[in-house]
Chain A
Amino acid sequence: MAKRNSGDLHQRTESKKLGLVALSDAKGTAAGPDLPSVIIFSAGGVMFGVDVNATEGVVDCPRVVPLPHPPRGVIGLTSVRGRITIVLCLARGSVRGEKQRLILLRGEAQLGLLTDRIESVVGLEPDRVIDPERNRPKAGEQAKGDDAGGWPVTVRIKLNGKEVPVIDVERLSGF
């Protein structure tokens, strides 16, 4: 797992989100060996990314119990390692993998992201990061580019010719 660059690229901060934003701001600076890593996954045919450090692991998704009148994106809950986990589906359509996986997110919100499949884990090199101005929509506006479905995003990166939004886990926890 690539380590964070503690040099000129960005300063260490408590907020991983700031770290990612600072990285995008420093685009063009020579990247060191220590880079944040992002898990790339697909849900409903759409690709998303999530900071590795914001996750606790990836598990096979157990049976999901539906919740009554749940908020947007919540399809139910399940129990993983004895902890009740709220299952979020970022995709607009349903997730139809043969074997659904669940990305467990850190934090007290007890969230898990339902996925069709885990695509890869990539280092967040400066060249991958798309213009940071596009990453910061004005208040009330949705981010441009590939549709993030209205989910909060820290940065967007280029991967195999596509734009992939990296989900802002901290803001997601407060959805």
Chain B
Amino acid sequence: MNDDTTLLKEYLSESEQLIDMLLSDLDTLSSQGSGDKPAKPAASVVNRVFRTVHSLKGLSGMMGLVEVQALTHEFEDLLDDLRLGRLVLDRNAANLLQEAGGSLAGLFVGAAHGSAGEDDFRRCQELISAIAVRPLERRKEEDRVAELLGLSERERALLTEFEQHRIKVNIDVGRQFYSVAARFPIAELDSKYRSLTAKLDGVGELITTLPGKESDANIAALKFLFATDLKEAELRAQVESPELKLERVGRSAWRRAGEALKSVGRIQSLPGWSSRAGEARRKSGGPVTEPQTSGRDNETEGALSSAVLPASFEDETLRPLLPSVRVDLSEIDDVSSLAHELSLEASGLAILADHFMTRAGCSPRERFDLKLTARRIEREFLELEERLVELRMVSLAQTFDRAARLARRLARQLGKSVTVELLGRSTQLDKLIVDRLADTIHHVLRNAVDHGIETPDVRRIAGKPGRGLIRIDATLEGTRAVIAISDDGRGIDLDKVRARGVEIGAIAPDDELPEEETLRLIFRPGFSTVSEVSRVSGRGVGLDAVERAMVELGGEIRVSSQLGRGCRFELAAPTTLQLISAFVVSAGGWLYAVNVGQIVELVRLSTEDFDGGFPCPQNGGGFSRVRWRDTTIPIVSLDWLLGVTPVEERSDESGSAAAQKRGLNGNGTERIPALITRVSDRPVAVAVDGFEGQREIIVKSLGSIAPRIRGVVGAVDLERGEVALVLDLAGLISLSRGVRSNG
């Protein structure tokens, strides 16, 4: 990874944390200002927001994001006005402050990736200006731009408007700037000037020619400023000569980093930097401290522009903002695999050692001690594995907080009002799962606000409070986490859903479906009962993708609703894709593991319970039906689902051997072992050859091929060197059309 990528990753990681803090505090301020009368904002919150914005300003400067840094600076001025009582926190200001903060947050990521456009910057600036109580002291665009290149005031004054514009354009497209200092004999000035300008035009864009230093009667000293895409080494090879001196202009990464570090108080002792703010920072020892001066920290500003980096940069304290270490998930997985291997090797070593000790005639006591030690080692390695898996776990707090902000913002856009309650924020899931759930939660929430919650007037007519309620709740159910998103809105109109189902051909006009199955029609592709596509949602392409995403995750989505009273979506997902509690089964001579969260029941079915015979290759395979509890459900053999030729067929074993494996119950009738699982809330039986027991397993990735193997979420090393595929039963069944035709 090169330095730029590393810097970008660190920037995004640190700014993400700061942005979350900022938005959360702005949310608090917005709530404080949402009353009918202007409010006095909590000083602690405002100061915290001020410090966070100050840190963000430093970070953006470090990345050379000049525009973002400038906007952050203006936002900082606003917060300063708020602290000093110059800005009144009424409802309008509270909302605008939150909007501006959100816009600025978006720019932080967008600008770093180069995806922030002029409109984004303009919008943010408009929002900030709308709140400002005094004319913001914006530096002139041209001064800021010229300052970037380190031009002196005299040189800046010589720039024409067009040249300033060209500088800005080249900055925007990311070109580097260089100056060439030349000293030409007056007699050859004309020819050498033309020659050099032609050369510079060939490597980039010549912006301007400025007077150089040390001209005299015989020598003309000139300074050529130009912009280029070429790398420095290549440029020097083409341009530099004994009479020309090429120099890169503009802020170097180190200078930017140095200023950023100073601005957030990381560097605590610098020559020429002495202020009350500096003293406070040095005493506190924290990365960011409350500014001691009112208004802009002018002394710090002065220090920023004139301070020189200390000679021994390594001597300074460069404490990171966050006391954490950043580790890629793949590295944790690798160490976890190693720990697992070590536990297996330890187990094997113990067996070998016992064997040799027996041959050597060691005493039973010695052998017992050996076994004890071996088991202890094995346990400790397994514990190491579990601890490593736990490292991947993160809480849902950040996701939930973002979801709540999103819901409130969406509601405002739609002229609605919502309260968002969050429960179970501290529930921990594997980071990978949290990342993949985020979009799903976002989508369901969007639907709740857009289609579920009514406008205040409509709600009051219905006898409800004007403010809608959305609750996001996370609970653990065994090895699964269930995230429920419920609202007290209008609910789902089953008649409309039915009518739409007929319209898109999902059901026949005379089909009579239970309420639960009617509701599940909303997960069909293209199913939207909203007549217009709203700006927020309602394109009818969402909930089927949501269900597919949950299934791919090894989970499911459930829905319940009461017309006029609200709707509830439940997203059930495994807590981790790594360490799971699984049930191992055998089928066709191979072992397979299934997450216990996917298993409703383990049964041994009598062949008498089958309609149409047990599904096997001899009778065409596919789905059949079997009696289970008080109903009949589809049943399919795991061999058929996987399309894998059983070992017994390959070795030409007889069918009776297969029947033996399934377990005769002594009366000569077969009892077929089967797993009962759920697919879209409907039970399906999957027949196997045998049950091999439950165990805790570490699921290993299939690597880059993983997305192309449907129905398999990974593999696991079992004892005795066996490898078992870890299956996603619901995914496998969904892939086979037999479920829909026989369901």
- Which A residues fall within an 8 A CB radius of B? 62-63, 65-71, 74, 77-79, 81-84, 86, 108-111, 173-174
Contact = CB atoms under 8 A, between A and B. Distances in A.
A99 B389 CA distance: 37
Contact of A84 (B590, B642, B702): B702
B732 interface: yes
Identify the 10 closest CB pairs spanning chains A and B, nearest first: A82-B341, A110-B703, A68-B642, A109-B704, A84-B700, A79-B723, A66-B644, A82-B337, A84-B715, A65-B723
B701 interface: yes
Nearest to B337: A82
B715 A77 contact: yes
Contact of A69 (B590, B643, B721, B723): B643
A82 B717 contact: yes
A66 B703 contact: no
B702 A77 contact: yes
Interface stretch (B196-204, B462-470, B669-677, B705-713): B705-713
Instruction: Find the residue from B338, B645, B704, B732 having the highest chain A CB count within 10 A.
Output: B704
Contacts, number: 77
B724 interface: yes
Nearest to B588: A66
B542 to A, nearest CB: 28
A68 B643 contact: yes
A70 B710 CA distance: 9
Contacts of A108: 330, 703-704
B673 to A, nearest CB: 20
A74 B337 contact: no
Interface string B305-346: 000000000000000000000000010000001101100100
Contact of A74 (B338, B705, B714): B705
A110 B704 contact: yes
A127 B330 CA distance: 42
A173 B704 contact: yes
Contacts of A79: 700, 715, 717, 721, 723
A139 B192 CA distance: 49
A7 B341 CA distance: 43
A68 B709 contact: yes
Contacts of B700: 79, 83-84
Given A67-B725, A71-B708, A86 B702 contact: yes
B644 A68 contact: yes
B712 A68 contact: yes
Interface in B629-688: 641-645
Given A68-B644, A79-B717, A63 B723 contact: yes
A78 B465 CA distance: 60
A83 B705 CA distance: 14
A83 B708 CA distance: 19
A146 B484 CA distance: 59
A82 B337 CA distance: 6
Nearest to A174: B704
A68 B337 contact: no
Nearest to A68: B642
B621 to A, nearest CB: 14
Contacts of B330: 108
Given A70-B709, A84-B703, A65 B337 contact: no
15 contacts: A62-B721, A62-B723, A65-B715, A66-B590, A67-B712, A68-B641, A74-B705, A77-B723, A77-B725, A78-B723, A83-B337, A84-B703, A84-B723, A109-B704, A110-B701
A152 B724 CA distance: 30
Contacts of B641: 68
A129 to B, nearest CB: 30
Interface in B544-601: 590
Given A69-B643, A77-B702, 13 more contacts: A65-B715, A65-B725, A66-B590, A68-B712, A74-B705, A79-B717, A82-B344, A83-B700, A86-B705, A108-B704, A109-B703, A110-B704, A110-B705
Interface in B331-373: 337-338, 340-341, 344
A174 B344 CA distance: 32
Contacts of A110: 701-705
A84 B726 CA distance: 12
A79 B711 CA distance: 19
A61 B350 CA distance: 25
Contact of B590 (A65, A83, A109): A65
